[in-house]
Structure 1
Amino acid sequence: MAVNEMFGKRLSVEDLVVASLKSEEKVSGYHADDVTPSIMGRFVLIQSYEPLQLIELKFPTKKELYFVLVSPKFEAPTKKMHTTHPGEIGMAHHVWNCSQVGALVATVLKGDMVGLGKAWSSNKIVEPRRGPLIPGMRLLRRLPFRLGPLAIPLVALASTPLSSLMMSPPDMPLPKHMIHAFLSHDNLKVSTKVLQLDRLGARRILD
């Protein structure tokens, strides 16, 4: 991104995504789920890889979306996590996950934060296998639902395990409960942030 800015923005956003994909391929595989939203911001549906087709999902401008991010000091390499994926997927779980993807798209476009959180946290294929590898994750998954309908856990199980809880506005006392979930397992250190949905993506910020 910075190099592209220095040379007059010769590459389009799509070109930057492709370049980033090539870099990530060397590290953990050809996956666009991280680099695409990092560059484009907002929500993006990856329709296909060959050819690469990206669909922007517009969250309603009249609504704001905040996340409480709690990151434990714990490493789970993406390549290692990928080895937990099942070789075969039963039809029932396949249909379930496809339904949740459809619900995810619909709730993003509607700005339905409760529905979005439920769809996002209903993975029956990947998360059940990866979750047990992360200390404190089971306890963490139970906590948010006790704190209200907007405290929905959105767990990203990648190279840096990241548990995020959707909330609006960002004034619910969640971080200390999340921190305790990790502290209760091997006294893991954690960092917390409250962030707003980025609708613009990577960009040059002038002083």
Structure 2
Amino acid sequence: MKSVQVFAPATVANVVCGYDILGFAVDAPGDEVTMRLTSTPGIRISKITGDDGRLPLDPAKNTVSASVQHYLNALGQPSLGIDIELHKKMPIGSGLGSSSASTVAGLFAINTLLDNPLTTMDLVPFAMKGEELACGHGHADNVAPALLGGFVLIRSYEPLDIIKLPFPEDMCVAIVYPEVDVPTRDARQIIRSKVQLKDAVTQWGNVAGLVSGLFMKDYALIGRSMVDVLVEPARSILIPDFYQLRELALAQGGIGFGISGSGPSVFALTKDPETAKRITNTLQQHLQKIGIRSLSFVSSVNQQGPVVIG
């Protein structure tokens, strides 16, 4: 195989109470990478579309090429000739794992071109290198679900221990992206570095409740566990009318509501696509009233992760 085209899904990281340790993949949106083996040594990014010129073509500065280079170094083929086209199909800086989707698509593509010498799980550390370049912190709550599909728990970072979680098969997600700027680095900087023990206990209980709810497929337990007393209070101030949006989403039948990743996208879990569509319509109407444009997505939980599409 000399060329391959790969789609990788967007993700919802944190899932409210699971800061840096929980995430899930969605069917839409996502990013695409076309990759070719070439006779010229080294990695070249020949084209990027859908980014309005915001992403670097320099292979050392782009998350896709940088993570692929780490992969090639590990396999002892650092000078392999690679041509990359990146096609952004989702908004940058949306809190939906834009950089991780691109990175995952690139890693899955190179692994496919080389006849899959590594497992998909083995690719996670290389994808984390891309996240480190993108936002200064090599977390896995976006890249792991983008690679593995479904809901993912990062039990430990040192050593890395990633667990796929079950979830209700009919679960859907409503996502609304208010078109305001919330850079990931800035969103991380406003988080408290120290927390009170009572708040930590509350958070531990909610994380345990959410994981238990997913295993038991208990929507009521999932919903009442989606409470964050550590990170959301700080990050919510960056999202216009966040608490009004939450009230509207829950009133329209949402199971739980929160910030996707570092924001500004918000999401609600639902039992069916009709409810999810009703929620996105309601939230977009509210944002329009306060003069904010938005995009929306209604999706099932993606169970496949990246796929070859050409």
State how far apart, in whole Å, the 1-side matches of 2:233 and 2:255 are. 20
Map of 1:114-153 to 2, 5 A cutoff? 114-120=220-226, 122-148=227-253, 150-153=254-257
**Corresponding residue of 1:166:** 269
- Tell me, what secondary structure is at the counterpart of 1:171? helix
Query: Match of 1:161, as an amino acid?
Result: P
CA distance in 2, matches of 1:52, 1:101: 19
d(CA) in 1 for partners of 2:146, 2:261: 16
Q: Tell me the CA shift for residue 106 of structure 1.
A: 0.2
1:51 Cα deviation from its structure 2 partner: 1.0
Alignment of 1:21-170 (within 5 A): 21-28=128-135, 29-60=137-168, 63-120=169-226, 122-148=227-253, 150-158=254-262, 160-170=263-273
Number of aligned residues: 200
> Aligned partners of 1:135, 1:200: CA distance in 2, in Å?
33
Q: Is the alpha carbon distance of 1:157 and 1:14 closer, same or farther for their aligned partners in structure 2, counting shifts above 3 Å?
A: closer
Q: Which has the higher contact order (CA 8 A, sep 6+)?
A: 1
TM-score by length of 1: 0.90
Task: Assess, with a 3 A threshold, how the Cα gap between structure 1 residues 151 and 99 changes in structure 2: closer, same or farther.
Answer: closer
CA drift at 1:156: 1.6
- Of 172, 175, 197, 2:280 maps to 175
Output the CA distance in 1 between the equivalents of 2:293 and 2:164. 35
Amino acid at match of 2:134: V
Report the Cα distance in structure 2 between the residues aligned to 1:73 and 1:13, rounded to whole angstroms: 33
Taking structure 1 as reference, are residues 151 and 98 closer, same or farther at Cα in structure 2, changes over 3 Å only?
closer
CA drift of 1:168 comes to 1.8
Aligned match of 1:194: 298
Report deviation, 1:18: 0.7
Unaligned runs of 5+ in 1: none
**Which structure: larger Rg?**
2
Identity among equivalent positions (%) equals: 27
Distance 1:90 1:17 in 2: 32
Cα offset for 1:151? Answer: 4.2
CA distance in 2 between counterparts of 1:181 and 1:153 reads 16
Task: Return the offset for 1:85.
Answer: 1.1
* Structure 2 contact 132–138 (Cα < 8 Å) conserved: yes
**Alignment RMSD:** 1.6
TM-score by length of 2: 0.61
The answer on whether the counterparts of 2:172 and 2:299 sit within 8 Å (CA) in structure 1 is yes
